[in-house]
Each structure stands twice: as structure tokens, then as C-alpha cells.
Amino acid sequence: MPDDRPIGFFDSGVGGLTVLREVLRRLPGEGTIYLGDNARTPYGPRSDEEVIRFSSECLDELAAREVKAIVVACNTASAVALGDLRSRYDVPILGVVRPGASAAVLATRSRRVGVIATEATVRSRAYFGAIKDEDPFVEVHEHATPELVPLVEAGVIDGPIAEAAVRRALAPLLGGGPADGGTISAGPGGALIDTLLLGCTHYPLLAPIIQRVCGPSRAVIDSASATASALASLLEINHLRATGDREPQHQQFTTGDLQTFRQTAERLFGPLFPAAAPLALAGAA
């Protein structure tokens, strides 16, 4: 039967707001609670044990607020902690890795896909495995781009500094240097990759620059739209769709700097974005 409880969203910072935006477009009748662990971002350079612990602490907060489903809108947490999180909570939990991998496989024409992500996500090989599950003949070239998350968290998402950082980050996948210690040989027509998957939900905030650097011949895929579609299916299958009888409520929380969080949120949602609130996690230092 229908369920008017909110959907929980968790990310290491502001990146998951890109997923939230797509979900609100796709499912405007659903209420949401978003938690960004900005105080401890980025998760990418951290150990797997830290990622699992931090993610569990954040999901404890969402579960305590009686959410009906949780979207782990953080690629690092999805790659490293999803199995542990699903065993810990009895609500449906959706990650962002598999929806993004499916979208990339559908987009590629030459079966040569590049993935940019955090160090922890690349280390996990989660995208490699998910893409190979979809199509074992796709070549997957993963590349860690640790410079980009702190840039986005600081609100630097356009201008020359951001563009220079993006160009450095993408160079190994676009012919400017080695990726993961080796050189990618060109495919048919001299192309290294024809599809770039943004394996971090922070990166869509840099999407205009990334697309410009990649050029019009390459598809740039983020997992937000695919995750929104997967969430719609999950709610339908589990009979968790909202009734539509009441106005949905939205809450946003951050463990970090409130003003910085609000600035990014306002860029994505405009004046309709509800006021965010600070949140102190019990396990945070």
C-alpha cells in the first residue's frame, strides 16, 4: 500500500544533491531527507573501514527519522560500504554505481568507457565489475581524480581554476598522459574512449566544463538520472510510492559549514530549496 514516509539520501557532501534534484524531477510527490557529511568529506582518500563507519553513522541518523528507503548518493560509499549497509538496515537501500554503469554501457558505441572517480571507488573496482556485468566486452578505463571533490565542496565549479583542474584530471583518458600507470591505446578512429562516466556525484556540478573538455563526440554520463529511474522502480516494486494526498516535505542536513552547503544547494534548486540545518553526528570527532 502507499507510503508517505520520506526517502533518505546520504552523501559525503554536496554531490548527492545532484541525485536529489533528479529524483525530485522524476518523483515530485515524494518527501525527502538529505544528509551531507561535509565535515568529513572527501571520503575518497579514506580507508574502507572509515568509509563503512562514517556511512553507517549517517544512515543511523536517516533510519532514526523513519525513512522508507535510502539512496546512498555517494559513489565511494556505494562502492565500498553498500553490502555492509544493506545487512545493517531493513529498509531498501539503493546505490549509484550500478545505475550509472548501465547507462554508460547503453551510451558507448565503441565499447570503450572511461570512469573518473575517487581513489576509494577506483580501488574497489566497483565500476569495472558493474560495467563488465552489463557487457563483458566493454573496455573499462578507471582513473582516480582526487582534486575535483574538494574543488566542488569549496564551491569552485566554474571559471579558469575549475577548468584547469578538469583538464588535468581528464588528460590520461583523453590522450594527455597515462591512466592508472599505463597508456590507453587508441581505438577505431583514434579515439581513446567515446563515453565518460562520472563516477562521483560531485562531478555533475562540473558537467559543463567536463563536456567542453571532452568535446561533442564523447558522451558524458552521470548516475543521477539512472538512479532516479531505479528508485522509481524500487518504490513501485515494494509498494512504497507516496499517496499524493499531501504536500511532500523536504529536509536537508549537513555536518559541515552551513553557508557553503546552502550556496551549492541554491545553485541547484534556486529559491525553492528549503533551509538546510546543521547536524552533529554522535560518532564524529
The catalytic site residues sit at: 74, 200
265: exposed, middle or buried (C-beta count within 10 Å: 0-12, 13-18, 19+)? Answer: buried
**CA-CA distance, 239 to 50, in Å (whole number)?**
34
**CA-CA distance, 184 to 191, in Å (whole number)?**
10
**CA-CA distance, 36 to 148, in Å (whole number)?**
17
Report helix angle 258-269 to 17-26, nearest 10: 40
**CA-CA distance, 76 to 132, in Å (whole number)?**
19
**CA-CA distance, 252 to 41, in Å (whole number)?**
17
